[in-house]
Amino acid sequence: MVKLRYFLALACYLAIPVAVLAGGGLFLLIDPEMARGHAAYVRTYRLLDLARRGVLAAAAGLALGLWVACCYLVLASRGRSRRWLALAAAGPIGFSVIATLGDQSPAPGDHYQRFLHRLGTGSRVALEIAVCGSVWGLAHTAVVVERELMIQLESRSTGTPAAAIIAQQSASSGMWAAGEGMEALYLVPLIYLLWPVLFNLAGWLFMRRPHASERRPTGARE
């Protein structure tokens, strides 16, 4: 239903948090204080510190490369010019524009792109505005729901009242706001990537339903 390059773009995007978490985990595992007891303590300490910083930089570079690859594959799957790749520098906002670009040669079973091609200019603009607002709103709502679920889970597992957990988070509201903001920004391109896939899946199921209902039971008389 959707071109292979588009699924590769989705795979690249899903690999970004894996790269970041793996890099962060290795950064924490490499402790320069492990150099204690060595004869060349200063030299070993510097090497370990350089290694952990290198791991962090490599993880950041890999995440950036996966992001650029994701944007490029989306453009390539839709036959669009590489000039649009400059929008990748704008992050999720730029991807919101990339996601609105139609496919120049949609696959035969791509119901979403064929649906877009049948729309007029005014209807297409209205649809993209509605989708953009829905995507950003859904990302924010998902983060809020996740926060509430995590508070309830922590409250039940530790026996701490939910109000106390909320007060603790409010004390470091800046850190929590930054974390939730990053989660919302990550969800925006993910929802944009999943939207055509889900649309095509729904269209495929809808197209199969009439055929399934027309099947006659085995042994039925003509």
- Percentage with pLDDT > 70 across the chain: 89
Alpha-carbon span 173 to 141, nearest angstrom: 18
Length of the chain: 222
Burial tier of 81 (Cβ tally within 10 Å: 0-12, 13-18, 19+)? exposed
The string of pLDDT tens digits covering residues 92-122 is 999 999 999 888 887 777 788 888 888 888 9
Q: If you average pLDDT over every residue of the chain, what do you get?
A: 84
DSSP state of 105: S
The string of pLDDT tens digits covering residues 171-204 is 766 677 778 888 999 999 999 999 988 888 887 7
Is the pLDDT at 170 greater than 90? The verdict is: no
Q: Are 131 and 101 in contact (CB under 8 A)?
A: no
The string of pLDDT tens digits covering residues 54-99 is 999 999 999 999 999 999 999 999 889 989 999 999 999 999 999 9
Can you tell me which residue has the tokens 């590769």? Answer: 8
178: which 2 tokens? 């930054």
34: which 2 tokens? 């492990």
pLDDT score recorded for residue 212: 46
Alpha-carbon span 85 to 74, nearest angstrom: 10
Alpha-carbon span 4 to 22, nearest angstrom: 27
Axis-axis angle for helices 4-29, 173-213 (nearest 10)? 150
| Count of Cβ atoms closer than 10 Å to residue 1 Cβ | 16
